[in-house]
Amino acid sequence: MCGITGFVDFSRNSTLSDLKAMTHVIEHRGPDDVGTEWFDTHACSLGLGFRRLAIIDLSPLGHQPMHNPADGCWIVFNGEVYNFKEIRKELEGNGHAFISHSDTEVILKAYQHWGMSCVDRFIGMFAMALYNPKEDKLILLRDRAGVKPLYYHWNEKILLFGSELKTFHRHPQFKKEIDLTALSSYFQFGYVPAPASIFKNTYKLSPGHYLILDLKSKEIQIHKYWDAADAYQLPKLNISLKEAENKTEEILTSAFQYRMISDVPVGVFLSGGYDSSCVTALLQKNSATKIKTFTIAASHLGTDHHEQICSFQEAMDIIPELSTIYDEPFGDSSAVPTTLVSRVARKHVTVALSADGGDELFAGYPRHRKSLNQLKKLNRIPNGLSGLLSKIVSVTDQPLSVANRRDKLKEVLFDSDPIHRFMIINQAFTASESSRLIGNKNEIRKKNFLISAENFDKNLDLLSGILLLEYKTYLADDILQKVDRATMSVGLEGREPLIDHRILEWTAQLPSAMKMDSVQQKILLKNIVHKYIPSSIMERPKMGFGIPLKDWMKGNLKDLFMEMMNDQALQSSGLLNVQEIKELREDYLNNKLYNFERIWFLFIFQQWYKRWMQN
């Protein structure tokens, strides 16, 4: 795990000092080594920067940027290709020689041998920049699910790229202008969906995509090489539940074992839920030594467990740091406990497995059942009548501290697509409420969040469509980014054993009834876990990472809250409807707010704005 950054500057105004500054600011992602390379080409200045967290091949031979003398290509690479040994063996059979034991060198040789189709062979998580001087191209590539982040800024004179947005702030040509459409998305969902970012002309490279910048023509082309939707559009398999369990466990075991490949100690985040228990149980079953686990008691699994009771003060101390760790507004409050457990794990290991993705693969969120029931009722209304009803429903503005059910109903009725309806039902703020927060700016597009949902197969059953959407949006842009920033903030590599594309490609073809029925959720996964852990233990209340933020922000942390949310602070950006937010703030302080997320999202934005726009 590492951090990458760099630029292509057609104006040639960038300096080596700029490159070093961009690289230095992500030292937390790679405290073990640093590297930069500078190129003056006929068309531009090009810089590659790298910070290393040594995981595979700890020797200096794993240093980056790495060069392949055979074809002249250079690479900076963040992540892991877990099956690199198999790929290396195949390449050696085709005459390629290696000097290191790193997966980075395997990527370079694979690109030399197969071109861009090499990515189809990779099992892993990755974000990389590859400079091909012979073809005058810079290639940016991101893994299939989006485990590893990759941002870029493009204004036709310069392309900046980096693992985190904070690298761009260190380049003098970066203009930090807030994109109001992205800000509206943030208030609705608590994150900014790819490919947008909070800044204009600045983007996330979407998962499963690669970007090619032609240094001669200055043209950018973006290509999709993988899409979860393709698997969901295949016919459902006609197999028994027992057959599905056996095959699923086989694929899970392979994926989990790959994530244990490392030259440094590896552990597992264990919450007591089905996902982390599944990862731990299957790993322990196949391991002669005890797996290191972190967080809660795990005696039944027979692991080497580390439990640390963190004080409220330790958790509260993280909150002022959130805007630095998450350099884009990020409203998922579980970032606090995730950062805490990362700090605990880093004392013992350099790699930690985080069992995210189970809810998106096997239908585990409570909102899946609740929303499905609501959508089924809405779908009984004919489209024509639904549109008519949306015009009839009258909506009057009310305080933002109160759920405007008529507003949400109107938006749901207006949009007949069930996948869009699912998104609307589960928003923190509706699109119109978000517009009110930003003063009804004309440039805000109402449906800015639907980028990932536009091309879904209309023939998908409703649950499959919901799971596909969650995988492409909430998982990629919230959960995976939360874990990446939290772990990397302390130089810990976070691996995602359930985010193996082979698992998605398999589970997408399984009938939805194997995932959720009228009584149970996560049916398939639970059946596998119950083979190793009694259901009587698993059905106990989950010991999660809950913290009383709602009380802290008007108690011990009230001074910080008011520093960010006082009238002057609210006016400072010139973007917000101050009167609306003042009423929301007072309702929260007077216990009249029904949804804490609303005030938390605003607090986080204010904290982010002060850190990145006023400094």
CATH numbers and ranges of domains, the chain: 2-226 (3.60.20.10), 230-363+479-538 (3.40.50.620), 366-465 (no CATH), 549-613 (no CATH)
Tokens linked to 69: 């003398």
Tokens linked to 548: 């009383």
Q: Using an 8 Å Cβ cutoff, are 469 and 423 in contact? A: yes
More confident residue, 66 or 270: 66
**Residue 420 pLDDT > 50, yes or no?**
yes
**Residue 453 pLDDT > 60, yes or no?**
no
Report, as an integer, the average pLDDT of 452-474. 83
Residue with tokens 């007072």: 586
Which segment of 381-385, 482-486, 590-594 scores lowest on mean pLDDT?
A: 381-385
More confident residue, 363 or 288: 363
User: Helix, strand, or coil here: 579?
Assistant: helix
Q: Which amino acid is at 43?
A: A
Pairing of strands 2-9, 209-214: unpaired
- Residues that are catalytic: 2
Rounded to 10 degrees, the C-alpha dihedral 127/74/327/223 comes to -50
- What whole-number distance in Å separates Cα of residue 230 and Cα of residue 472? 12
Distance set, CA 374 to CA 10, 284, 329, 370, 574 (Å): 53, 41, 30, 6, 38
E strands in 133-193: 137-142, 151-154, 158-162
Q: Using an 8 Å Cβ cutoff, are 1 and 46 in contact? A: no
Q: Using an 8 Å Cβ cutoff, are 415 and 462 in contact? A: no
- What whole-number distance in Å separates Cα of residue 579 and Cα of residue 440? 13
Residue pLDDT, tens place only, 159-196 = 999 999 999 999 999 999 999 999 999 999 999 999 99
- What whole-number distance in Å separates Cα of residue 32 and Cα of residue 57? 12
* The dihedral sign for the CA sequence 110, 84, 489, 494: positive
- What whole-number distance in Å separates Cα of residue 227 and Cα of residue 208? 6
Residue 546: predicted pLDDT: 63
pTM: 0.93
